[in-house]
Amino acid sequence: MIPPVSPPRLANTEGPVGKLCRDAAVEYRMGLDAEQAWRQQRARAGSLPRRFVLVPSLAFCAAAAASLLVGHFRDPAPNLGAQVEPEARSVLRRGEAKTAPPASPTSIAPKAPTEAPRKRPSVLGTGDAPRALAVAPPNTLAPLAQPLAEDSTAKATTEPALDCLSFARAGDATRSESCFEAQSKSGSLAAEVALYELARLRRDMLGRPLAALSALDEYLRRFPGGSLSLEVRFSRLELLVKMGRASEVLQASDELLALPSGQERAAEVHFLRGNVYAHSLASPAEAAREYALASSSPGRVGDEAAFLTGISFEKAGDTEQARAAFDRYLKRSSAQHLAEAKAHLNALSSPAAGEGH
C-alpha cells in the first residue's frame, strides 16, 4: 500500500539506514573545493557552452579514427612483404589513396560514423539554454569574461575541430565561421556537426539569421536523415519564428510533426505554432487548439500551454471553453500561474461576463 502522505525521512530515523544516509550526505560534500571551482569558473565564464567544444571534438575524433581504420583495412601490406621499408610503404599507401576506387558495398571496413545509429548527441540544443539564448542579455557575463579571453587565446590548439571554436572564444567569430565552413565540406559526421554549429554561430554570435537558416537548409539537403536532423529541424523552426515567417513556420512544423521522430518534440512544436497563431496571425481560436495539444506535456511547456489555452479561448470569445481550460489548468499540480488563472476564471464566471458573451 502506497502511503498518501509524506513518510518520515530516512536520515531522521534511528538505525543503520538513517546513520548511513546522514554519513553519506556529509561524504557527498567532501572534496569539493569552492575556491578552486571558482577559479575554473572564471576561466570558463563567457565561453561558448561546453557542447560547442565536446561534440565537434568527439565528431572529429570519430571521423579521424574512422579514416584511420579505413586506411588500415585498405593497406596492401601483406602483399608487400617485410622487405618494404616503412617509409616506402607509406609512400605507396599515399599513392594508392589517390587512386583508390570508392569502397565497395561489401567492404570489410567498419561503418563510418555517418552511418551510426541515431545516438544523437542530444545535448546540442535540447536543454534550456539554446531556446533561451536569444533572450539572454549579452553583457550578463561581463564581470567574468576578461580572464576567459586571455585564457582561450592561450589555449588555441592546432586540432581542426577545436580551432573553429577557439577562434570564436577568442572573439574572432568570422574566422570561426570560415573554419566551420571548411569542415562542413567533408561528408562525415564532422560535417553534420560543423553545419549545425555554423548555424548557431551565425544566429547567436554573428546575428545573421538568414545565413544561419541557409546553413540549416544545407544540412537538411545534404543529410536529410542525419544524426542531428531532428535538432536541426527544430532549430530551423525556432529561427523562422524569430524571423516572423509565420507561413513557413506552419509548413515546417507540419513536416516535422509528420516525421516519426518529430513526436519527440511535438509539445514544443505545437507550443511554437500556438505562439505564431496568437501573435503573428492574430488567430486566438487556432492558437487555443495548438496550445491544447501542447498542454498534455508534463513539463514547463505543458504548463504554459495549458494556461495559454484558457487565455486564447478567452480572447476568441469562447467563454465556456475558456472556463473549462482554466479549470483544468488549476487542477495541474505544477501550475505556475495559479493566481492569474483564478482571476481569469472569476472574471469569466461573474454574471457580467456571462451576459457579455
- Answer for the pair 303, 314: CB distance below 8 angstroms, yes or no: no
Nearer to another protein, 192 or 321 (CB): 192
What is d(CA 121, CA 130) in angstroms, rounded to the nearest whole number? 14
**Cα dihedral: 143, 144, 145, 147 (round 10):** 120
Q: What is the closest distance, in whole angstroms, from the C-beta atom of residue 302 to another protein in the complex?
A: 8
Q: Which of residues 214-273 bind another protein (CB under 8 A)?
A: 238, 241-242, 271-272
Nearer to another protein, 148 or 321 (CB): 148
Residue 57 interacts with another protein (CB under 8 A): yes or no: no
What b/e string do you get for 69-78 counting C-beta neighbours within 10 Å, with b at 16 or more? ebeeeeeeee
Query: Footprint of another protein on residues 185-224 (CB under 8 A)?
Result: none
Q: In the window 142-161, what residues touch another protein (CB under 8 A)?
A: 142-144
Pick one of 40, 174, 261, 263: the residue that binds another protein (CB under 8 A): 40
What's the CA gap between 52 and 197, in Å, rounded?
A: 7
Q: How far is the CB of 282 from another protein (least distance, A)?
A: 17
How large is the angle between the packed helices 160-169 and 173-183, nearest 10 degrees?
160
Q: Which of residues 302-331 bind another protein (CB under 8 A)?
A: 303-304
What angle is formed at CA 129 by the lines to CA 127 and CA 134, rounded to 5 degrees?
140
Using CB under 8 A, which residues numbered 112 to 141 contact another protein?
113, 116-117, 119, 121-123, 127-129, 131-132, 134-137, 140-141
Residue list 83-112, contact with another protein (CB under 8 A): 110-111
Stretch that binds another protein, among 3-11, 203-211, 218-226, 341-349 (CB under 8 A): 3-11
Q: How far is the C-alpha of 89 from the C-alpha of 79, rounded, in Å?
A: 11
- CB 52, CB 165: distance < 8 Å: yes
Q: Please list every residue from 159 through 188 that binds another protein, using CB under 8 A.
A: none
Q: Which one of residues 67, 69, 95, 224 is an interface residue with another protein (CB under 8 A)?
A: 69
| Short-list 202, 151, 185, 179, CA closest to 63 | 185
Minimum Å distance from CB 61 to another protein? 8
User: In the block, which residue shows the cell 585498405?
Assistant: 74
Please identify which residue in 169, 202, 270, 337 interacts with another protein, judged by CB under 8 A.
Answer: 337
Report if residue 61 touches another protein, rule: CB under 8 A: yes
> Residue 108 has which C-alpha cell?
570489410
Question: By the 8 A CB rule, do 225 and 219 touch?
Answer: no
Contact, 341 vs 307, CB < 8 A?
A: yes
DSSP per-residue string spanning 81-119: -TTS-HHHHHHHHHHHHHHPPPPPTT--SPPPGGGS-S-
Q: How far is the CB of 185 from another protein (least distance, A)?
A: 23
Q: Nearer Cβ to another protein, position 113 or 284?
A: 113
| Contact range with another protein by CB under 8 A, out of 29-37, 160-168, 196-204, 349-357 | 29-37
Give 262's DSSP letter: G
**What is the total count of residues that contact another protein (CB under 8 A)?**
80
Minimum CB separation from another protein for residue 31, in Å?
Answer: 8
78 binds another protein (CB under 8 A): no
Nearer to another protein, 45 or 156 (CB): 45
